[in-house]
Chains A and B, each alone.
Chain A
């Protein structure tokens, strides 16, 4: 990008610092002294992408390699797009302002399905051909990673390859493989086949899906030179040995998650049946307590932030939790550092540690109850009881809190109207509890906010066999729920069911769905995760135009024997385990967490040992 063009554009857009780079920790190299120029693309705004630990980890891992220069790209907001199109400007990197099309490898992180159209938007703004089949010998290789690749198929036609699972090793290996193939003068096809031999790499163009007459998949045909399916995801086992960015990029402008993070563990032992992350990040791996504390201190020393966050799916499940807290709580108070502890149950502590935690913890109290009745919580295997929620609230109220937030989902499998109404009843019980306490905070009113989202049945979970509850049915439930509230102390907010419906199609789609993604993008859909961008009408028109039956993907109950598009990638948990879990769910039977008892999810095929055997 020409500097004079940028100088002309930037004064006209909102938050121009989104597009300038130059932050503390940004890495600059001499482009002539590297073999591979890697374009890390986050298909959303700068302030979203820079809040993701994936950005920081991959940026640091790739740049730690002298032969690679990784630069960043984010999706320009609507105002910037307009300016860039007026000037005929191409999407450029934040570091060296090089156009996207000049990079050797373009890596997109697919964190959520509603960012799919932004992938096309960024490729096109970067003058890179959208379809893998259209790219020629000199075009960049477009690689996808991140959680959504556990069903890569809806995006498969746009990508040359996917890096499944942990990217710490595979991404550098892909770069080296491409550089080596170039030195050997190999063709694009030969290079793709070479990359497909890397553990965790799936090259879609090497396989052809085959369909039954009724439209369901029957299987895949591997082309010559292709490794056998399924392709197994990459796992980085030893968290103590995992490369971790201790000099992260410090955004100069405020971003959403504006603090450094220490990843404390990967994977989850809980097995909540609706939670995709809980299954696709298995096996459960912990970082040692002393390393966590050292990294936290180093991060604060290197960045100057006054807040740090512990990152995991469930920090309470770290076996050395007390040691971590002992190592961090006093230090954080002494050094005026705010300790942000999401995914931590305070009731797991008693005595002085609990008191200290209250000092450093951010205000507010949140419960992920997920469902209104115990029966439905058993169905989803969410191991929190009403008693625990109420005693947690009582404890909080006695300590001066007056606001409680709860998370719920609507449209869960087996859900009845009784389950829906139980949500407002639970909120009412919390309000009543507050007023029943003789020592409640005086002169203050209580607020119970319930945030109610729409359940999306995701691949690689026991509910992958279920259909979406339906746009209208969810609306009816939302209205019923809001209408059942009898107190002004209760505030219910709910999510738009249309977005969730489209998200289900994109999550569960097969390779044919890419046509709808392309058509939606062509009709102007970008930033679908934003109300400013999402248009249900454009999406529905895209399905009609391409002859894709969205209900076929989103609404259908699937037979556990059916061949699913995501069966071609192996994330550790076996389909037979998911099927067992689904049957138990329907019978409202819970499954103990992995530490209590191994339920045989199948991930130890990767590790060759029991997850909780003595170390």
Chain B
């Protein structure tokens, strides 16, 4: 048995697929790939799949890892995995790399995000300059029980930069997203918009990379 880690993009309309939908799409793609994939051994046996860090509905990604297992030790070619899986996936889900896993899922420490805000880019930019310069940016979220909790977003942000381009305001940020604590980038964007009183016609959030504690790329 061997572990295979593929990386895929989730772009365009596919951003509206839920995490569960994506899992189902990959389960079917693996089933029809013809690879001798490993099934879980439980009462309700199913194809084993593992995702590192589920993506919220509406977010795009250029770097999503997914692990599965193939029975036997005969090496499988990267191009064959990519080709066979892609022929069974909907528009917008696209595998672009396949290899043996190098890191553990628990090694993921940060996500690199790009947040595009369509609107008055100059106004957004100057408001954001003020917003992000503070030492404390309180963001409030609810846990599953509905209890509100306020945290300081600054503590989650490792790096941040922003610019305007073609009438679009773009934020690039490296934000903590490990198993114990993470910050959803939409929380940062929404807090910014409500504090500044500005509006964006469309907000597009894309995960560019998953990073380790030392900011090396997760592989």
In the complex the two chains form, is B202's CB within 8 Å of A4's CB? yes
In the complex the two chains form, is A254's CB within 8 Å of B20's CB? yes
CB interface residues, A 425-462, toward B, < 8 Å = none
CB interface residues, A 303-344, toward B, < 8 Å = 303-306, 336
In the complex the two chains form, is B17's CB within 8 Å of A17's CB? yes
The stretch from B1-9, B88-96, B148-156 touching chain A is: B88-96
Shortest distance between the CB of A556 and any CB in chain B (Å): 49
Q: B13 within 8 Å of A by Cβ?
A: yes
In the complex the two chains form, is A253's CB within 8 Å of B18's CB? yes
B26-48 vs A, CB cutoff 8 Å, 1 = contact: the mask equals: 01111111000001000001100
Q: A301 within 8 Å of B by Cβ?
A: yes
Q: B103 within 8 Å of A by Cβ?
A: no
CB interface residues, B 173-207, toward A, < 8 Å = 201-204
In the complex the two chains form, is B202's CB within 8 Å of A22's CB? no
In the complex the two chains form, is A336's CB within 8 Å of B21's CB? no
- The listed residue (B18, B88, B204) touching A304 by CB distance below 8 A is B88
Shortest distance between the CB of A308 and any CB in chain B (Å): 12
Inter-chain CA distance A380–B25, complex, in Å, is 44
Shortest distance between the CB of A88 and any CB in chain B (Å): 16
In the complex the two chains form, is B24's CB within 8 Å of A254's CB? yes
How many A residues face the partner with a CB closer than 8 A?
A: 25
In the complex the two chains form, is A304's CB within 8 Å of B30's CB? yes
In the complex the two chains form, is B28's CB within 8 Å of A305's CB? yes
In the complex the two chains form, is A252's CB within 8 Å of B58's CB? no
B20 contact set on A, CB distance < 8 A: 254
A304 in contact with B27 given A8-B201, A22-B14, A23-B90 (CB within 8 Å): yes
In the complex the two chains form, is A303's CB within 8 Å of B32's CB? yes
In the complex the two chains form, is B92's CB within 8 Å of A22's CB? yes
A17-31 vs B, CB cutoff 8 Å, 1 = contact: the mask equals: 100111110100000
CB interface residues, A 271-321, toward B, < 8 Å = 300-306
Inter-chain CA distance A254–B27, complex, in Å, is 13
- The listed residue (A22, A254, A301, A304) touching B13 by CB distance below 8 A is A22
How many B residues face the partner with a CB closer than 8 A?
A: 31
Shortest distance between the CB of A249 and any CB in chain B (Å): 10
In the complex the two chains form, is B89's CB within 8 Å of A20's CB? no
Inter-chain CA distance A253–B21, complex, in Å, is 5
Q: A11 within 8 Å of B by Cβ?
A: yes
Q: Which residue of A lies closest to B202 (CB)?
A: A7
In the complex the two chains form, is B17's CB within 8 Å of A304's CB? no
In the complex the two chains form, is A304's CB within 8 Å of B21's CB? no
In the complex the two chains form, is A253's CB within 8 Å of B30's CB? no
- The listed residue (B16, B27, B30, B89) touching A17 by CB distance below 8 A is B16
Q: A194 within 8 Å of B by Cβ?
A: no
* Number of inter-chain CB pairs below 8 Å: 71
Inter-chain CA distance A11–B30, complex, in Å, is 29
In the complex the two chains form, is A252's CB within 8 Å of B30's CB? no
A306 contact set on B, CB distance < 8 A: 27-28, 31, 46
B46 contact set on A, CB distance < 8 A: 306
Inter-chain CA distance A306–B28, complex, in Å, is 8
B45 contact set on A, CB distance < 8 A: 336
Inter-chain CA distance A305–B16, complex, in Å, is 21
Shortest distance between the CB of B118 and any CB in chain A (Å): 8
In the complex the two chains form, is A22's CB within 8 Å of B91's CB? yes
A235-264 vs B, CB cutoff 8 Å, 1 = contact: the mask equals: 000000000000000101110000000000
Inter-chain CA distance A304–B25, complex, in Å, is 9
Inter-chain CA distance A8–B18, complex, in Å, is 18
CB interface residues, A 194-243, toward B, < 8 Å = none
CB interface residues, B 61-110, toward A, < 8 Å = 88-92
Q: A422 within 8 Å of B by Cβ?
A: no
Inter-chain CA distance A254–B45, complex, in Å, is 19
Q: A16 within 8 Å of B by Cβ?
A: yes
B203 contact set on A, CB distance < 8 A: 11
In the complex the two chains form, is A303's CB within 8 Å of B16's CB? no
Inter-chain CA distance A7–B13, complex, in Å, is 9
A304 in contact with B31 given A10-B16, A252-B21 (CB within 8 Å): yes
Shortest distance between the CB of A496 and any CB in chain B (Å): 32
Inter-chain CA distance A302–B29, complex, in Å, is 9
In the complex the two chains form, is B13's CB within 8 Å of A250's CB? no
B92 contact set on A, CB distance < 8 A: 22
A8 contact set on B, CB distance < 8 A: 201-202
B204 contact set on A, CB distance < 8 A: 7
Inter-chain CA distance A302–B31, complex, in Å, is 9
Inter-chain CA distance A8–B204, complex, in Å, is 10
In the complex the two chains form, is A304's CB within 8 Å of B28's CB? yes
A11 in contact with B90 given A21-B13, A253-B21 (CB within 8 Å): no
In the complex the two chains form, is A22's CB within 8 Å of B90's CB? yes
Inter-chain CA distance A278–B203, complex, in Å, is 53
Inter-chain CA distance A125–B203, complex, in Å, is 27
Inter-chain CA distance A26–B57, complex, in Å, is 22
A23 contact set on B, CB distance < 8 A: 90-91
Inter-chain CA distance A464–B154, complex, in Å, is 72
Q: Which residue of B lies closest to A11 (CB)?
A: B58
Shortest distance between the CB of B119 and any CB in chain A (Å): 11
In the complex the two chains form, is A252's CB within 8 Å of B31's CB? no
Inter-chain CA distance A301–B28, complex, in Å, is 10
In the complex the two chains form, is A250's CB within 8 Å of B16's CB? no
B32 contact set on A, CB distance < 8 A: 300-304
B21 contact set on A, CB distance < 8 A: 17, 252-254
In the complex the two chains form, is A304's CB within 8 Å of B202's CB? no
A21 contact set on B, CB distance < 8 A: 13, 91
Task: Known pairs A7-B204, A11-B58, A304-B29; list 4 more (Cβ under 8 Å).
Answer: A7-B202, A16-B58, A303-B28, A304-B32
Contacts A/B (CB < 8 Å), 10 sampled: A7-B202, A10-B16, A17-B18, A21-B13, A22-B12, A252-B17, A253-B21, A304-B32, A304-B33, A306-B28
Which 8 residue pairs are nearest across A and B when measured between Cβ atoms? A304-B28, A304-B32, A22-B91, A304-B31, A20-B13, A16-B16, A252-B90, A17-B16
